[in-house]
Structure 1
Amino acid sequence: MPTVLITGANRGIGLEFARQYAADGWKVIATARDPGKAGELKAVPGVQVEALEVTDDASVAALAAKLKDVKIDVLLNNAGISGPRGFAIGEWDFKAWEEVMVVNSIAPLRVAQAFLPHVEASDRKIMAFISSRMGSITLNGGGSAFYRSSKTALNMAVSCLALELKDRGVTCAVFHPGWVKTDMGGAGADITTGESVTGLRKVIGGLDIGKTGKFFNYDGAEFPW
């Protein structure tokens, strides 16, 4: 039975990942900052729910130690925030920008570092990071500088990680989930969480070391950096 660890699984895309992987018979370890408020997640049959604050070194280290004997086939870094939008130069709130960078850019790599031994010990050895096409410099349409820059930084960090871990057999890739109907994406978005996650799981399931360091759409198409 393969194992997946999902961060930010209390709602939205993370919750749907937990549902789909569990339904397919995977061992699912799903994390939330406050499991006491993750009622929908805890209601998913067969899911092991753990507390995790991805921005806190001690919290990440504690969970890694608790799961030290668990082989993680897919580490799915999903936790993230949108942060405030609509600010133009002269109005930027740098404390808010820093928070977005800490959650979206730094925290996923903190988790990746802590759980690398668990992933290396598994059969599949996959690290998947939920990013956004808004992190693509080539496709930049302007605005949302806080969020865009945080995802661009994540993309570069994962690209570096992929190069470093390639010889160790660990595949690392970043993914755009589509414009999804979640709290972050809004009701007017293009696709449901079910459609997004079904596509993402298909792409993740087809990963191998030859695809490490790439940026994929949820339908499998590659995005430019």
Structure 2
Amino acid sequence: MSTVLITGANRGIGLALAQQYATEGAEVFACCRDPAKADDLKGLAASSAGPVRIIPLDVADEFSIASLKRTLGDQPIDILINNAGISGLSADRIEAEGYITTMRVNALAPMLIAQTLYDNLRHSTQKKLVAITSIMGSTSSAAGGKYAYRASKAALNNGMRGLSRVWARDGILVALLNPGYVQTEMVKGQVAFISADECASGLIARIAELTPATSGVFQDYRGVRIRW
């Protein structure tokens, strides 16, 4: 049985990933900031054929990340999916507090979580680290607006690319995956291109086929490579 840990698993892409992995029979560690309000996730945990364990995690809080490690102990994690993120607290204005918060959640938190759970990954069978990033983190195609979000995803890409090179010595594979324009609460009021379920299916397929040749490669949920 595979073990999968997903951050931001209470809604959107994270919830869809938890549902599909649980359906496949994986043991899912579903992390979210406030489990008491995660009704859909609690419903999944109650009804799923595969075991789903809900764990509180505020990715912006180092103490919460340390608590996650204490909860997991030496539990091997086959697939660690850093999915939690925010869209950026200001679309066009550059505001210090919002900018820093966006960077902390989107860029720093996945790196801290990966570092904290390094041994859990290293001692697993599959050893796969996944970052849900964005095409908006592509520097070569950057446009205006959403400055904090774009910068945070570019920083995430750079950090994860580095881990893919250093951690290759331990057999850890790193996926940098753009989910596409997905219909979630993050794009509330807009019409996106794909559903969370369709996106999750594509992401799971890319994770399943991850090899040393594709580790550290920036690609989308369909396997199309994206320019840095």
TM-score by length of 1: 0.96
The residue number in structure 1 matching 2:65 is 60
Corresponding position of 1:126? 128
Identity among equivalent pairs (%): 41
Distance in 2 separating the partners of 1:72 and 1:40: 23
Tell me, what secondary structure is at the counterpart of 2:117?
Answer: helix
**Structure 2: gaps (5+ residues):** none
Distance of 1:38 and 1:119 partners within structure 2: 26
Contact 2:80/2:129, CA 8 A, preserved across alignment = yes
Partner of 1:109: 111
Counterparts of residues 8-19 of structure 1 (less than 5 Å) = 8-19=8-19
Q: C-alpha displacement at 1:65, in angstroms?
A: 1.8
Counterpart residue number, 2:80: 75
- Alpha-carbon separation, structure 2, partners of 1:57 and 1:127: 19
Cα offsets for 1:61-105 (capped at 9, x unmatched): 111122123110000000000023432xxx421111010000000
1:176 lines up with 2:181 in the alignment = no
Give, in whole Å, the separation in 2 of the partners of 1:83 and 1:149: 10
1:47 to 44, 52, 56: 52
- The range that moved more, 183-192 or 143-152, is 183-192
Unaligned runs of 5+ in 1: none
Which residue number corresponds to residue 38 of structure 1?
38
Q: Which of 187, 201, 206 is equivalent to 2:204?
A: 201
Corresponding residue for 2:167? Answer: 165
Q: Find the residue that maps to 1:5 and give its secondary structure.
A: strand
Deviation at 1:207, TM superposition (A): 0.3
In structure 2, the partner of 1:20 is 20
Q: Which runs of 4+ in 1 moved over 6 A?
A: none
**Cα shift readout 1:184-220 (whole Å, capped 9, x = no counterpart):** 1234000000110100100000002222111110101
Deviates more, 1:59-68 or 1:154-163: 59-68
Matched residue, 1:84? 89
Given the alignment of the two structures, is residue 99 of structure 1 paired with residue 104 of structure 2, yes or no?
no
Instruction: Tell which deviates more after alignment, 45-54 or 146-155.
Output: 45-54
In 1, distance between residues paired with 2:205 and 2:42?
A: 25
Residue equivalent to 1:224: 227
Q: Do 2:90 and 2:98's aligned partners in 1 also have CA atoms closer than 8 Å?
A: no
SS for the counterpart of 1:43 is helix
Q: Distance in 1 between matches of 2:39 and 2:81?
A: 21
2:65/2:113 contact within 8 Å kept: yes
What secondary structure does 2:58 align onto?
Answer: coil
CA distance in 1, matches of 2:174, 2:67: 23
Tell me the amino acid that sits aligned with residue 37 of structure 1. K
Mapping for residues 149-160 of structure 1, pairs under 5 Å: 149-160=151-162
1:209 is paired with a residue whose SS is: coil
> Using the alignment, how far apart are the partners of 2:38 and 2:168 within structure 1?
35
Distance in structure 2 (CA, Å) of the matches to 1:3 and 1:132 = 25
Output the amino acid matched with 1:175: L
Distance between the aligned counterparts of 2:74 and 2:167, measured in 1? 21
